[in-house]
Structure 1
Amino acid sequence: MEKKWSVFLCLIMGIGLLAGCSGKADNPNKLTAWVWNVNVPVLEAAEKRYQKNHPEFDLEIVEMGTSDVYQKLTTGLLAGGQGLPDIVLVEDDRIQGYIDSFPDAFLNLSKQGFDKKKESMFPQFKRDLVSKDGDMYAFPFDAGPTGVFYRKDIFEKAGVNAEDMKTWDDFIEAGKTIKEKTGKDMIGLDLNGDDGLYRMMLNQQGTFYFDENEKPNLTSKESVKAMEVHKQLKEADLVKNTVGWDAWISSMVQGDVATAPSGAWLAGSITQQGKDSAGNWGVIPLPAFEEGGNRASNLGGSNYTIMKSSENAEMAYDFLEYFSTDEQTQIEAMNGGLFPSLTTIYDEEVFTNGVDFFGGQAVWKTLADQMTDIPSVNYTGDFPYAKDEAVKAQSQATGGKLSIQEAFKAAQKRLKNRML
């Protein structure tokens, strides 16, 4: 594993090591945090509230892109903590790799005082993501419970009831009717560039790129079942080719596609970019693979870590314990499209009230209801390699170059070679 991270470092770092974080010598009560975009205002607001009881507290928030965060975090970790801040935000698909490879680099929250009562305030799958040997090493923050975001106007025109789509077979049949009646595609996918739908389907079946022993699992029966749905959608001419984020979002807000299976965070994007489509949206849980099967899954989410090299680790812990369990903070995060992992707030009005953009549907409750049913899966530190190979296999399988079994058998072989 050390060799792997060293190779990764050579690929992503420029020259030299990071300079140490500034300002702490002047203010011993100052913390520095590395985060990205919508997380900045949430931290800023929480800092002001926290300062009411801790007036000396000062939080320097350094905003950067996610790739920059990981580049600098990896560089600093391999340098023994040099140049790292006190707090770093890490996504769900990356956190396991960092904790497994550098367990001594992150503050052990369980030993710091994050007891079982506090742990129980978060769903099991989030706790498992940030734990090693029974101890937690990061504070769960946002999550990505999934659902099918759909255009009510298109469904109504086709005479299809979205609530009847209880299985993926139902989803395909509904798509055929919608295409026949309206000419609209059922879904937008970038089959050659991203595998988000495939990952959701794996997760809902309780598996992932890797099995419970962290061994490559691309040839599993669950993987084949997930890709069979992709292939059926493609062969039925129900897929609009949406290359990249902008094309995918545009296809939804312009009404070119009828559905978008995705994580809860999609609500923020379509609300902001599709104001003219307000009232025409609904959300249902993902269809199951068989009648009565699991419909809960997750796509996206992040967690806050404290670096063990921090000179103010106890202060960082106290602030993040407050931050991660403060209900007002979680509700503010929702304004930026982040879905909170803190289960104690799911009875608040923001969840139970209807949302005008979604025609009065209580969409947040629809999403929150599945949080305790989301299976825990292994991302591992090889997630980037696995995703790359899965996307290649998806392209080959849905493009007809290879059968599903052949494509994923070859992908698994390549993945194993990359993991050496």
Structure 2
Amino acid sequence: MKLKRMLTSALGLLLVASLAACGGGGDSKTDSKSADSAKDLAKEERVEKASIEVYMPQGKNTDYLLKSIELYNKKYNTELELKPVDVAPAIPMVQKVTPKLVANEKMPDLIFLQDSNAGSVFEKFEDLFYSSEDFGFVKDHGKEFYKAKMNMLENIAPSKKVYGFPNDWGNASMFYNESAFKEAGVDMTAVKTWDDLIEAGKKLKEKTGKKLLFMRDTGELDLVKYLTEQQGVSLFDKEGNLNLLDDAVKTSYEIIKKLQDEDLVAYGNSKDYTVIGQDCGTIFAGGWLASYQAGDYPDDAGNWRIGAIPAVEEGKDFSPMSGGSSYYVPKNSDNALAALQFITFALTDKEALEAYMDLSGLPANTTAYKSEVAQKEFPYYGNQKILVTLDEISQNSVEGYAFPYSADLDNYIEAASYDIKNNGASVDEALKKQADDFASKYGVKVNE
């Protein structure tokens, strides 16, 4: 591996010289493949001219970086250009970059990757990325970000070194149709626990005919994870051991059974859950849903609100995780130094963060929520200051961990849920079967 890096480094130097000779490489400071450590790059002067290629999803995140690069160029009198390539940040991103990493091909300067999927990349390719910790980002800015977000990034790479530049952090919230609950005579501000919510759901169904919430017809998954994490239990512990047999998981299934027994559930395909949920009393989702709900369902303007999910046990509650993404800088790219300098700015500059929030983005940087923009009222949610609400929910986030096999656990939970509901399996036997199968496949320990 050392010889491979030395050869790659030498070839990189030859390419730099070749590009500089023919005038095709832009500013001589833009190419940084010869630097093996971000600590070395942190000492370099600011890149004046470069084209930064980014693999990222089209939409608000692209718009955010385009606005950020305008602000960056204005502040530093530079000529950086952003070249976004539309790639979804979860499995499609892993599938896009893995063959390039295997073949040591040219990479983009930045990639945007979901935290839950990053472990599968860093398990094999940690040494092919620059560390945000080595670049000084964590020391200079780490305390500005949600603790749970930084905890996640600290546990993705095998070395436990931080590589990600933290963009957003999502915690599951309860979107609820306040108008429908009012019609049913329910004051949602008085709903504190899941027992309260089930009682509210019974009234909602009786008075309006609406079901309380959506569940997957292929086997419930999201609610199992949310309820478990609300009790302070992550499905993996810090060492990567599986917590699927924890009592908290069994309590989650008890609550789900109550919902099913009271006929409060609308079933459907997972891809349709927001469509079906819009006709229910509640939707459980990350704050990202607010970016779409108003545009997709304008006729419901003013009816909906956002709040924390009711507690499993009043007085003891955590906000469950619901996604989060970060930027990563590959070493084998043309303008890694410019990318490192730029993404540091985009994730910490006040104006850039405000621009992201204007686009309904939810920065992981907590300083963003102290700005005037965070006080913005949203007419769709009855002029609620939803950014403040979502920040309060995220401040109470459970701490979780990501491993190369984390994402695959969803399939096992779904299978357990299906066996319990449709095949008459007990909760204990269904969970034991899936835990054993998962442990056998990945060689992990199951906590009992």
Normalised by the size of structure 1, how large is the TM-score?
A: 0.88
Answer whether contact 1:209 1:379 (CA < 8 A) is retained.
no
Q: CA deviation at 1:54?
A: 4.3
Answer whether contact 2:232 2:318 (CA < 8 A) is retained.
no
User: What per-residue deviation string (whole Å, max 9, x for no partner) do you get for residues 140-181 of structure 1?
Assistant: 111212211000111001101112221111111211121122
Q: CA deviation at 1:208?
A: 2.8
Match of 2:54?
A: 33
AA at the equivalent of 1:397: I
Q: CA deviation at 1:337?
A: 3.9
User: What per-residue deviation string (whole Å, max 9, x for no partner) do you get for residues 343-370 of structure 1?
Assistant: 0011223323432111122222111013
Q: CA deviation at 1:240?
A: 0.4
Match of 1:6?
A: none
Q: CA deviation at 1:394?
A: 1.5
Whole-Å separation in 2 of the counterparts to 1:106 and 1:164:
49
AA at the equivalent of 2:96: K
Structure number with larger C-alpha Rg: 2
Match of 1:17?
A: none
Is 2:174 the counterpart of 1:160?
A: no
Whole-Å separation in 2 of the counterparts to 1:129 and 1:71:
22
Is 2:292 the counterpart of 1:278?
A: no
Match of 2:403?
A: 380
Whole-Å separation in 1 of the counterparts to 2:101 and 2:233:
30
Distance 1:317 1:193, change over 3 A: farther
Answer whether contact 1:191 1:391 (CA < 8 A) is retained.
no
Distance 1:116 1:304, change over 3 A: same
Answer whether contact 2:354 2:371 (CA < 8 A) is retained.
no
Secondary structure of the structure 1 residue equivalent to 2:281: strand
Answer whether contact 2:194 2:310 (CA < 8 A) is retained.
yes
Whole-Å separation in 2 of the counterparts to 1:406 and 1:134:
35
User: What per-residue deviation string (whole Å, max 9, x for no partner) do you get for residues 283-322 of structure 1?
Assistant: 1211111111114222022100111223432221110100
Match of 1:239?
A: 265
Answer whether contact 1:208 1:379 (CA < 8 A) is retained.
no
Whole-Å separation in 1 of the counterparts to 2:346 and 2:265:
41
AA at the equivalent of 2:322: L
Whole-Å separation in 2 of the counterparts to 1:335 and 1:274:
20
Match of 2:228?
A: 202
Is 2:415 the counterpart of 1:392?
A: yes
Unmatched runs of 5 consecutive residues or more in structure 2: 1-14, 31-49, 444-448
Is 2:291 the counterpart of 1:268?
A: yes
Whole-Å separation in 2 of the counterparts to 1:337 and 1:37:
14
Match of 1:327?
A: 350
Whole-Å separation in 2 of the counterparts to 1:108 and 1:85:
16
Is 2:129 the counterpart of 1:103?
A: no
Distance 1:101 1:207, change over 3 A: farther
Whole-Å separation in 1 of the counterparts to 2:418 and 2:360:
30
Answer whether contact 2:358 2:373 (CA < 8 A) is retained.
no
AA at the equivalent of 1:271: A
Answer whether contact 2:94 2:121 (CA < 8 A) is retained.
no
1:48-59 alignment, distance < 5 Å: 48-52=70-74, 53-59=76-82
Whole-Å separation in 2 of the counterparts to 1:259 and 1:373:
21
Q: Which moved more, 1:337-346 or 1:25-34?
A: 25-34
Answer whether contact 1:145 1:368 (CA < 8 A) is retained.
no
Secondary structure of the structure 1 residue equivalent to 2:370: coil
Is 2:96 the counterpart of 1:72?
A: yes
AA at the equivalent of 1:138: G
Distance 1:172 1:92, change over 3 A: same
Is 2:173 the counterpart of 1:147?
A: yes
Whole-Å separation in 2 of the counterparts to 1:387 and 1:83:
33
- Give % identity: 28
Secondary structure of the structure 1 residue equivalent to 2:408: helix
Alignment counterpart, residue 177 of structure 1, candidates 175, 178, 203: 203
Is 2:275 the counterpart of 1:250?
A: yes
Match of 1:288?
A: 311
Distance 1:365 1:145, change over 3 A: same
User: What per-residue deviation string (whole Å, max 9, x for no partner) do you get for residues 101-141 of structure 1?
Assistant: 43212211122121434000101111112125564211111
Whole-Å separation in 2 of the counterparts to 1:151 and 1:42:
30
Q: CA deviation at 1:264?
A: 0.4
AA at the equivalent of 1:257: C
